[in-house]
Amino acid sequence: MLGVFVGSAALIIILSVFNGFESVILSMYNTFTPEVMVEPAKGKTFDPGLPVLKGLRDDKRIANYTEVLQEKALLRYENAQYIAMVKGVSSDFLKRKKLDSTLVQGSFILEEEGTPYAVIGSTVQLYLGVNVNDNFRVLQIFSPKKGASPSSLSPAEDFTMRNISPVGVFQIQQQFDESVIIPLSFARELLGEEKKITAIEIYLNNGESVDDFQKDLSKKLGPGFKVKNRVQQNELLYKILNSEKWAIFFILTFVLIIAVFNIIGSLTMLVIDKKKDIAILSSIGADEKLIRQIFFVEGMLISLFGCLAGMLAGLIFSILQQKFGFIKMTESNFITDAYPIAIKWIDYVLIFFTVTLISTIASSISSRLSIKNLGNLSDDL
């Protein structure tokens, strides 16, 4: 029972910690990853002036509607150069929650009194050595002119160059930290795109179903557009998180299997010790089925009591860690000081059914040993 208790508690605690890390990572991603993204099925850009897309602005289900125009460009800051993703966003972008929590330096300002500003990723700052407190140095952005033919005499004429002052640095994850956030109007000048955009990023009001909204919008837009939810936008990230969690679950389940199968050894010793009692039961009319049931129920009771007690202990530990954070992380520069915990009831259900299945198999094997050589035992008695 103690072995099952420890195995069940360990499974609950470790899965809760993995859930906690998953929540922390996804919360960091979700600041820049919208709930729904609209992209063209073919090509890079599309016209946001379509009637269906215009109607989205008045959709009461939508809390935030951001138009995005992005493309890779060459950045230069004094003598340093770096190729990054330049992302122009409409004014609604700044209305998103937790933007300031991603900042490591400066402020999240894109436009003030008609002057455009840039907020850069930490990777861009690292390669270019950008000082957001220096008002005398600007960030130069070079983008190939749209439809221009290469010029061998003056290559500089093939590029559009714009200067912009960086005022903030954000840090989330490398995928985002290699980008520069600028106003949409500035991006249009830089990329030579007057009307079209590359994507629409949408956040829904609390309580709205993302799946229902995605299906409804996909039906309205037709095959010319891709409507993606967060999982589809970051398929690799979600696959990695799920595969790690399942790998840990199966590893600890093997430990639990060893603990549960110790019941076979315990019940076998019990059968040997209770030989005379088994023979007496048989002599007074107990059939093989009843004797098997006695040992089967005992094996199940040992397993399930151990499992339930372990799950309860794991729950209490998880709640205490969640509330007080008494087990700290060694890395002081991580986003959280203590190990994060997120309780998901599906884990408890999964562990209970896993232990029940293993216990049923182990108890069945043990119960069969109880009636082995039952006839010889009765004769000896």
Q: Which pLDDT tens digit goes with each residue over 269-284?
A: 877 777 777 778 877 8
Question: In the prediction, which pLDDT does 88 show?
Answer: 94
- For residue 373, is pLDDT > 70? no
- pTM, to two decimals: 0.71
Which run of H or of E encompasses 300? helix 288-324
Mean pLDDT for 306-314 is: 93
Question: In the prediction, which pLDDT does 72 show?
Answer: 93
Domain boundary, last residue among 231, 261, 280: 231
Task: With cut-offs at 50, 70 and 90, classify the pLDDT of residue 381.
Answer: low
Mean pLDDT for 351-374 is: 79
Domain boundary, last residue among 196, 231, 266: 231
- For residue 248, is pLDDT > 70? yes
Question: In the prediction, which pLDDT does 123 show?
Answer: 93
Coil, strand or helix at 328? strand
Q: Quick one: 243 and 173 in the same domain? A: no
Indicate the number of domains in the chain. 2
Domain boundary, last residue among 231, 253, 269: 231
Q: Quick one: 42 and 18 in the same domain? A: no
Q: Write down how long the chain is.
A: 381
Report the distance separating Cα 123 and Cα 86, nearest Å.
13
Q: Quick one: 15 and 65 in the same domain? A: no
Range of the domain at 277: 2-26+237-380
- For residue 25, is pLDDT > 80? no
Q: Is 254 exposed, middle or buried (0-12, 13-18, 19+ CB in 10 A)?
A: exposed
Question: In the prediction, which pLDDT does 374 show?
Answer: 56
- C-alpha closest to that of 155 among 140, 141, 144, 146: 144
Measure the CA dihedral 318/322/327/330, to 10°.
120
Q: Quick one: 252 and 190 in the same domain? A: no
Mean pLDDT for 125-136 is: 91
